[in-house]
Amino acid sequence: MEISTLAMYHCLAFVWYFFVTYSITHVRTEERPSEVFLYGGQWKYLTVLNLVLQAVFYGVSFLADVLRLIKKLRCAKCVISSRDLLFSVLAFPVSTFVAISFWTLYTYNRELVYPQSLDGVIPLWLNHAMHTVVLPFAVLEILATPHHYPAKKKGLILLGFVAFLYISWVLWIYSVTGEWVYPLFALFSPAGLAAFFAGSLAVIVSFYNFGEFLNCMIW
C-alpha cells in the first residue's frame, strides 16, 4: 500500500476510534442500569480502554506516515518503532481478545458481560463498534503494512505487565465497592477467579503469537 493511501487509512481509523471513544464516554450516566456502578466510570471496562488504545495506535501510525511523506526519515524511524511495539504487544492481541471473548460469553449468557438492560442505554451500532469492528480493523492493519515484532521474551513481558495492571485495577475496584466490573467474576471462588485470569492471559498470549505468525506469513 502506498504511503499516501496508508496515511489516509490510518487517519480515518484514528478519527473513527476517537469518535467511538467520545460516544461511549458521553453516554448519560443518569440512564445507566442499576447493575452498572459509577466507581471507575467507563474506564473500568477493558472494551473502553481498548478503544483508547486503538485511537492512540492509529494516531501514532498516522504520524509515522506523515513523517515518511515529508521525508523526515530519522524521526519517522523512531515513531515507527513505537507504532510496531504498540501494535504487536497490545493493539492486535487486546482487540482480538475483546472481540472473541465478548461474543463467546455473550452467546453463552449475555447477562454475564453485557446485561440486556444496557440495550436501552448503548445503541446497537455502538455495541458493534466496541466489540465487533475492532477485530477486522486489527486484521486489516496486518494486511496493510508490515510490523516489526520485538524479541518474544520482551513482548510477552510487556503484555503480561499490562495484563497485571488491568487485573490489579479490577481487584482494586472490587475492594472499594464490593462489586465486580463484570457479573461473570461473581460466579468464581478466589481460586477459580485466579484460574480464570490465568486462562485469559494464556488466551491473549496465543493471540499475540497468532498476530506474529500472520505478520510473518504475509510479509
pLDDT along the chain (219 residues), means of 10: 86 96 79 66 92 96 90 82 95 97 94 86 92 95 93 94 96 92 92 95 96 93
Q: What is the pLDDT of residue 28?
A: 67
Q: What is the pLDDT of residue 2?
A: 79
Q: Are 48 and 181 in contact (CB under 8 A)?
A: no
Q: What is the pLDDT of residue 15?
A: 97
Domain that holds residue 70: 3-218
Cell of 166: 488491568
Q: Are 73 and 39 in contact (CB under 8 A)?
A: no
Q: For residue 58, which of 97, 128, 6, 98 has the smallest C-alpha distance?
A: 6
Q: How many whole angstroms separate alpha carbon 25 and alpha carbon 194? A: 30
Overall domain count for the chain: 1
Q: What is the pLDDT of residue 37?
A: 61
Q: Are 142 and 212 in contact (CB under 8 A)?
A: no
With left for phi above 0 and alpha for psi between -120 and 50, is residue 71 left, alpha or beta?
A: left
Other CB atoms within 10 Å distance of the CB of residue 165: 10
With left for phi above 0 and alpha for psi between -120 and 50, is residue 5 left, alpha or beta?
A: alpha
Cα dihedral 145, 150, 151, 153 sign:
negative
Q: How many whole angstroms separate alpha carbon 82 and alpha carbon 41? A: 29
Q: How many whole angstroms separate alpha carbon 148 and alpha carbon 170? A: 31
Q: Coil, strand, or helix at residue 115?
A: coil
Q: Are 55 and 129 in contact (CB under 8 A)?
A: no
Q: What is the pLDDT of residue 33?
A: 62
Q: What is the pLDDT of residue 150?
A: 94
